[in-house]
Structure 1
Amino acid sequence: MRTLYLGWLLAAFTATASAAEAPAMAQHEHSAMMHSQSRSWTQLPLLKARMQGQDMASRSVSMQPQSIAADAIEAWSNDLDDANGHRQLPIGMGGAPLDKPASGGFQMLTAREVQGDSVRVASTVHYFGERGGKNPTAMFDQLKHELEIVPQPYPREHSRYRANEDWQFAVRFKGQPLAGQKVVLETSNGSQSEFMTDAQGVVKVHMPDDFKPEEAQSKGGSHGMRRGSDFVVAVSHADGSLQYLTAFNSSYGEEPFNKRSLAMGVGFMLVGMLGAAPLLRKRETAVKKEESANA
């Protein structure tokens, strides 16, 4: 009898524990799913750089495709005379290790996915440093895929894309400019915009100022460094039975001198007020003397 009672008690405890565990597991799975969704700020294809290593000597870079299934990443050097300038980088579990070519400088990176009648391309630019850096215009002019959207120009060396600035991109299909073509912009801060190419296939994209003020203390308090965010511009085009989608992604920063300009403006105003104070006092004194003389 005692054995039956203990067996019944154990069964009841197990059922109760399972019932309590189910909502907890469901909540954990829901939280994990929401966390995964929060990381995916766009469904457009991207190429993201991942840095590894504690110092410059051991640092390595790998490119991680997102929202695109590709077997390799193609790399183009800004040095067109480099024999190894155009190469393929196989994609492994941790992405595609990005080797540093002898030419250095700018590297154009693309990933391509073909499924049925759909062709998707992700593209970005990686900068290896000033050593070997050349004007990347000729690199961008190289025909790499049928549908392309390329910077015109790309920020050089110590520059970057910034909020409240206009930047141009050239859109072409099989080397020919696409006029009147819609281009979409998405940012990891949540902005979405649409633009149209002109008669030369060039689109002027306005980088939004979508940095939240409350993030200044939580994210922007690292030694006065300006915050950055990610963006992607994309274009789609149909040719016969094939549908093409090509995207270019990079990062952008806060508007330059926005806070500094405000502080300088307030400072100049205060200096002006302090400088004008003695003149006002002299004027008041002169008026009082004149009134006394007339009295």
Structure 2
Amino acid sequence: MDKINLVKLEMIKKGIFLILIAICLILIGMNTINAATYTIDNSTKVITISKMIEGKIPLINNKTIANGDTVKFKAGKYYNIRLNVKKQITLTTTKNSKNKVIFIGNYTKDTQLHHFISSEGSDESFEIMDNKTPFIDNSNCIAIDINSNKVKIIGITLNNYYIGISGKTDNSYISKNYLFKNIIGISVNGNKNIFKFNNLMRSSLSVNGNKNNISHNHVKHDFIGASGKNNLISYNNVSYYYLGIHINGTKNTVRRNIAKHNTFGLVINGNKNLVRFNKLYNNSCGIDISGNKNNVKFNKLKEIIHN
């Protein structure tokens, strides 16, 4: 093949490459254009909201929920709401409703006792009382059940559910939510999810999977748990419970967390985990480690390390 033909072939290849890039940009633009934002307030029945989010009925103008859509909740209390998320959507609040959107469940399987370590160090419990209000659809008292990837949940308060946020998902973003007095706050299976800046009171945060980012969360009277490998657990603050942070797996990074006033500040089960620069104060046991080749350095604690 002569030099001229080689040049022509190279130009054709470049042209095809540019066409493919243009097609990709057009498709991305179409998805952006098609994405819609919906606003919901608590005058709408919760069963109707649930069906809208699940895609069983339209939200507005005969449009059903679709990938890329955003649903914004106005300030108010949404009693006994349960959302089954099956699309790649964002659930958040309107601009003026920060910390004012409250999902209130009614977990009433008898009276539940949830143990924690009090500020005085004693083992106590609180009750979630049965007020005899039926939960919609006789569900398992899960506020938000995620059954899709790339879901965002931002700025919502969840109270008195068996599980606040649950599901199986990858590449989702759960941030700036406030969960209090739930038996389980967040329980998610999946990979490459981000859990940041959540505030949990008497609600646990538990993640099972790989390459998840669990950072800057504040948990009081409950614990953070992570199982899997290559997870990042950093800058969390956990206090006043039997167990502060529990890591089970391999090659996880646990750094710059604060665990205080727990029975066990930090428990590591597994191999080749990196545990550095954590502050563990006033726990009965600072760090409890089992496994091989864990790298534990530069942690500040008053208690004994058990190997």
TM-score under structure 1 normalisation? Answer: 0.29
In proportion to residue count, which structure has more helix?
1
Quick one: higher RCO (CA 8 Å, sep 6+), 1 or 2? 1
TM-score under structure 2 normalisation? Answer: 0.29
Largest Rg, 1 or 2 = 1
